[in-house]
Structure 1
Amino acid sequence: MVLNKLKPRRHRYAILLLSCTILMCVYFENSWKLLTQKYHVSEHIACVACAPKRKGTEWFFARYAPTVHLLLNSSNSMLSKDVSSWWTRLQKVKRNANYTTVVRNLFPLFPDQDPNRCRTCAVVGNSGNLLGSRYGPLIDSKDCVMRINKGPTEGFEEDVGSNTTHRILYPESVMDLDNSTHLVFFPFKILDIEWLISAFTTKDINETYMNVPSTINANKDKVMILHPEFMKYVHKNWTQFHGRYPSSGFLTVIFALHICDEVHVFGFGATKDGNWHHYFDKTLTPVANESHSGDIEYETIIRLHREKNLLMYKGWT
C-alpha cells in the first residue's frame, strides 16, 4: 500500500523538476540573448570559438593571446590609446590625416572580414633556402597558402608551388592579384590605409616614402586589413619590443598561428652557406636592420617549431 502511494508522488516530483529545469533553461537563454545584444558578447565568443586550440609551454602561453583583434573592421576600428600611440610612432611620412575620418571612408568600400579558419596552412617566405628544395607540391597541398610581398611563383613552381590563397602586401610591396586571392593588407602607417582607398577609387596616391603604384588589380571583396592592435601585440608579446616593429614575414607566421590548425613554415632563415637573400634574386639582405630584429624573429620561429606549435622546413640548410 505504501509503495503504491509513493509512485504517483514520485511522478509528480519528476514532472515538477522537469518543469523547473525547462523554465530555467528558457530564462537563461533569454538572459544570454539580452546580454550579448547589449554588450556585444557574441562577437567576442565567436572569435574565441574560431581560434585554434593550442598546446604549449608556459613560454608559449605567456605570449599567445587568442582574443586579440586580428583584422580591422567597422566594429573594432577605434584604437585604444596605447595601440594608437605605438602605431603613430611607426609613421615615416607625417600626415595631417585624421585616422577616424580615413577609417570612416574605408569600410563602405571593403566588406567587414572575419578571418576564415584554415585546417592546414603554408606560410611561404622568400628565403634563398627554397631553391632546390622541391617543396612545391607540399606547399600546394595545404588548404591555405600565404605568400609574402612579391615572392613570385612563375618559374619557381617546383620549389615554391603555384597556389596562392592569401597574399601579404603593403603599398611598397604591391603586386596585381587574381580574382580568387585574398589581399591581406598590412598597414604600417595611416598613409597605407589612404593608399588602399585610393587604389580602388581615385588612384591619386603614387608616393609614400618611395614611388608606389597608384592602383592594384585585386578583388576588393577579398581585402583583409590587419589590425594595428595585432601588430602591436606581436611586437610586445613575441619580439619583446626588439626592432621598431615586426617584419611582414613574422607577422604572417603569428597570424597563421591564430587562424590555422596546422602551420607549415617555408622559406625563412639563411641558405646552407649562411647567406640571407631572396630565392628570386641574389641580393644579400641583413638578418637584422633598424626596423626589424630578424635574429629574434627567427629564434622565435625555431622555438615554436621545437615546441610543436608549427612545422619549420629549412630547405637546403
Structure 2
Amino acid sequence: MDLNDEDWFFIRFNPTVPTLLNRRNSAMRSDVFEWWQGLQSDSQKANFSDVVDILFSLFPDEEHYVVTDPNRCRICAVVGNSGNILGSHYGQLIDSHDFVIRINKGPTKGYETDVGSKTTHRIMYPESAMDLDNSTHLVLLPFKVKDMQWLISVFTTKHITSTYLKVRPTINADREKVMIIHPAFIKYVYESWLRKHGSYPSTGFITLIFALHICDQFDKVHWSR
C-alpha cells in the first residue's frame, strides 16, 4: 500500500452498505442475492423471506450501530487466533477496549495474560459454534440460508445437527444479543476489499472490515498471514 495514496481507503470503504441484517434491510438486490446463493451447496434452498420472518420474531430486529456521534470514540480490538499471540502479555490491553471482537473458537480460558478475558462480540458460523456467556454478542456469519436456519433451530427445536459437517444442535448464548452479518456486506468485502480474489472472503477478513464499519478506532491483535 502506498501511504501517500489518500484515495486508497475511500475507494474501498462504503458506509452505506448494511453491516447487520434486520427485517427492514433484508430485501436484497438480485445480484447480491444470486451471488450469496452461489456460495451455498444446499440442493434445496429455503425461502429466504420466510427465514427472515422467523429470525426476527426470535431475535432483536434493530438497526445496530448506525448512529454516529462526533463526541464518541468507540475503541475496538479484533483478536486473531494465531499462536504468535502467546507470550505477548497483551491481555490487559485487549480488555481495555470498548469492544473486543473474537473469531470462531479462539480460546481465552487459561490464556488471559496474553489474550484477555473480555469478549463483547464473537463472529461464528454453525461449523465453528461455541458456548458464550451472557455478556457476549453472538454474531452469525451466514454463508448459506441453512446457517440462519441452524441459528433458529439452536434456540427452538434443536433439530439441525449437520450442514456440510456435523454441527452442534444447541449452544449457550443470550438470544437478546444475537446479530447476523448481512449477506450484502459479505459481497461488498469480496468485491471492494478483496477485488474478487478467491471465491469469498475469510471469516477473519470479514471481521476486520466489520470492525472498520462499527468502530471509531480499532486495533488488530496478532494476525497470521
Q: TM-score range by the shorter chain?
A: over 0.9
- Give the TM-score of the pair, scaled to structure 1: 0.66
The answer (yes or no) to whether the contact 2:45–2:145 under 8 Å persists in 1 is no
Task: Quote the offset at 1:92 in angstroms.
Answer: 2.4
2:96 to 114, 134, 141: 141
The alignment's C-alpha RMSD in Å is 1.3
CA distance in 2, matches of 1:172, 1:219: 19
Larger Rg: 1
Where in structure 2 are the equivalents of 1:132-171 lying within 5 Å?
132-171=87-126
* Kept in 2: contact 1:95–1:191 (CA 8 A): no
| Range that drifts further, 73-82 or 86-95 | 86-95
Amino acid paired to 1:106: L
The sequence identity of aligned pairs, in percent, is 60
2:86 corresponding residue in structure 1: 131
Moved more, 115-124 or 70-79: 115-124
Which residues of structure 2 form unaligned runs of 5+?
A: none
In structure 2, C-alpha distance between the alignment counterparts of 1:222 and 1:57, rounded to whole Å: 37
In 2: Cα distance, 1:267 partner to 1:247 partner: 16
Query: 1:92 and 1:138 mapped to 2: Cα distance?
Result: 41
CA shift, 1:57, in A, is 1.8
Aligned residues: 215
Q: Which runs of 5+ in 1 are unaligned?
A: 1-55, 271-317
Q: Deviations over 1:2-38 (max 9, x none)?
A: xxxxxxxxxxxxxxxxxxxxxxxxxxxxxxxxxxxxx
Matches within 5 A, 1:98-113: 98-113=47-62
Deviations 1:138-164 (A, max 9, x none): 101101000000001011111111100
Equivalent position of 1:79 in the other structure: 28
CA deviations 1:233-255 (Å, max 9, x no partner) are 00000000111111111111101
Distance in structure 2 (CA, Å) of the matches to 1:114 and 1:76: 9
* Aligned match of 1:201: 156
Cα deviation for residue 258 of structure 1 reads 0.6
3-state SS of the aligned residue for 1:265? strand
Where does residue 290 of structure 1 map in the other structure? none
CA distance in structure 1 between the aligned counterparts of 2:174 and 2:201, rounded to whole angstroms: 27
After superposition, give the CA deviation of every residue in 1:162-185 in whole Å (9 maximum; x if it has no partner): 100001111000001111111111
2:69 maps to 1:114: no
4+ runs of 1 displaced by more than 2 Å?
Answer: 92-96, 113-118
Cα deviation for residue 200 of structure 1 reads 0.5
Distance in 2 between residues matched to 1:157 and 1:113, nearest whole Å: 33
1:86 CA drift (Å): 0.7
| Counterpart residue identity of residue 210, structure 1 | L
Q: Distance in 1 between matches of 2:17 and 2:28?
A: 13
CA contact (8 A) 2:77 2:97 kept: yes
Decide which moves more: 88-97 or 185-194. Answer: 88-97
Q: Which has the higher contact order (CA 8 A, sep 6+)?
A: 2
Higher helix proportion:
1
> Distance between the aligned counterparts of 2:218 and 2:113, measured in 1?
20
The code of the aligned residue for 1:78 comes to A
